[in-house]
Structure 1
């Protein structure tokens, strides 16, 4: 199955409109000649010091205002150096299209009092890009000890590093996100977003350091990106539609996940997700769809294609879990309100670190429908044990799958 014409059109438009490869770093996000901004756009000219100690927050906020108040296409320059900052809300609407050229390193202060919520938050902006070879370093090791989410599910959330809220037509390319305090990137209520050739890194035991989280967003493509973190490499939340993940390498981490679904009231459906040509190495889960056992809402999860995925020493490579219940906060009835349907796992191969290479743990009252296992070849990589599939309340078919995995 190929990508939808809509998704390909969107990506092509972004590549043309926001062309930001090193050879074309000055190309506009959208058409229109630059106008003269109200002041400098190079943060050093606005007082920022790349010494890793001086507070550069106000210089970056000033550069944003100068660019946002102009018209045409404006490019903010963050040159080589280490720039320490606190929380930055880069909000619109703007009259211009804005490119941030990041060649230096942004450092998030370890003083949690400097954040109301997130670190770098792009809000209500249209036609926006970040490109370059620099790093967004959350300096998570300074504060990870303050994370209590492993003990309490209703914990205080530490700042996410890069957040896109209500953003339309955006491109993040070439940069590195390092050691976030919480999520590295959070894309919420946004449209037409491309994340391309980005590197995201944190230790495998770092708490809640998801690579990229997507929620209530449409037409999001993640391509050619390498993610190794302490939680989900990519998590796709409620309200996500037309999501494309291609050529991603994941590990360490918890894999590529849809959900959790059903935790809150009035969650929206997840639909049209394609994960293709990806590699997962040493992750604690592989391709996962998870929803709460006593879900508070009834979103539908449908139209999923996982194709051409390589598993290397992955625990639970394929898993649908409609009885997800972290910290035992659920009423264990076996029931669910989240319907899962039309899920295809095709040309999935490699090794499993557990005997249970396939787990379809669907709800008693709402079985999974239309699940297909096509040319799935997974083998438990330990000696003297057999690979197995465990399937409960799942309807579908197995094609070209070894007998021990053909549970549909």
Structure 2
């Protein structure tokens, strides 16, 4: 699939679907050209696929459950994301997502969870696993952002929150193009809980700075992880 004007594939209200051996290509500076978007769907399997676009290679939206992403190569693009969540009043929870055996190359994010700061509905994203991921010169290799506000107009604090819990990052290796290889930017209103950093070893490749991590309001454990990244409380 080549140069879509919007999402190349939009999986919506679907069940028991498998995508395999697909190639999706769009310019790295093309907005909103997600490779595959999944929403309100269950038992979706994406495997052995190569995606390079100007937006998320794969985005997993509200109402998604039992989603498996394996053997995907992503880049350029904005990485593999769960979210954005909390934007619409009818959004449902996201649960049981696994992303594994993937490679990300020169993307602007690696594996990411993003929820709106001014969410209009309280919901939950839980049981999310990212494992056996190789980062190659990736900005923001591991990121949770509960204060997502792309238009920078989230001035009114919402009473609704998106809960993020039981998230595992396991065997994530490679290189980061930014010093903060891990950014867990969770909400003070609803901190992330049950986060695990297991065998996470991603190092900044630039000069004049060291590999760092930022963990705001994130609770969990770190094990066999690069010491500079083990910032969980």
TM-score (normalised: structure 2): 0.97
The yes-or-no answer on 1:364 pairing with 2:180 is no
Q: Is the 8 A contact 1:192 1:220 kept in 2?
A: yes
Secondary structure in 2 aligned to 1:404? helix
Which residue is equivalent to 2:38? 214
* Contact 1:309–1:347 (CA under 8 A) maintained in structure 2: yes
> Is contact 1:200-1:226 (8 Å) kept?
yes
Does residue 283 (structure 1) correspond to residue 110 (structure 2)? The answer is no
Distance 1:377 1:335, change over 3 A: farther
Question: Which residue of structure 1 aligns with residue 120 of structure 2?
Answer: 296
Match of 2:25 in 1: 201
1:184-235 superposed Cα distances (whole Å, 9 cap, x missing partner): 0000000001000000001101121100000000000000000000100000
Structure-2 separation of matches of 1:180 and 1:291: 25
Correspondence for 1:239: 63
Question: Once the two structures are superposed, what CA deviation does each residue of 1:108-140 show, in whole Å capped at 9, x if it has no partner?
Answer: xxxxxxxxxxxxxxxxxxxxxxxxxxxxxxxxx
- Which whole-Å CA distance do the structure 2 matches of 1:275 and 1:259 have between them? 14
2:130 maps to: 306
Residues 1:257 and 2:97 are matched in the alignment: no
Instruction: Give matches, 1:312-391, under 5 Å.
Output: 312-331=136-155, 333=157, 337-391=161-215
Report the structure number with the largest CA radius of gyration: 1
Q: Distance in 2 between matches of 1:301 and 1:235?
A: 14
Cα distance, 1:344–1:332 mapped onto 2, change above 3 Å: farther
**Separation (CA, whole Å) in 2 of partners of 1:334 and 1:386:** 36
Q: Structure 1: how far apart are the matches of 2:158 and 2:62?
A: 21
Residues 1:272 and 2:99 aligned together: no
> Structure with the greater relative contact order (CA < 8 A, sep ≥ 6): 1 or 2?
2
Distance in 2 between the 1:310 and 1:326 partners? 27
What SS is found at the alignment partner of 2:151?
helix
Alignment correspondent of 1:67: none
Q: Closer, same or farther in 2 for the Cα pair 1:334/1:360, shift >3 Å?
A: farther
Task: Say whether the 8 Å CA contact 1:334–1:363 is kept in structure 2.
Answer: no
Give the superposition deviation at 1:334.
Answer: 8.8
In structure 1, C-alpha distance between the alignment counterparts of 2:68 and 2:48, rounded to whole Å: 11
User: How many residue pairs get matched?
Assistant: 232
For the aligned residue pairs, the C-alpha RMSD in angstroms reads 1.1
CA gap of 1:216–1:389, structure 2 versus 1, over 3 A, is same
Unaligned runs of 5+ in 2: none
The structure carrying a bigger helix percent of its residues is 1
Offset at 1:239?
Answer: 0.1
3-state SS in 1 of match to 2:226: coil
> How much does 1:361 deviate?
0.5
Contact 1:322 1:336 in 2 (8 A): no
Q: 2:120 touches 2:158 (CA, 8 Å); kept in 1?
A: no
Distance 2:200 2:92 in 1: 30
Asked whether the 8 Å contact 2:109–2:140 carries over to 1, the reply is yes
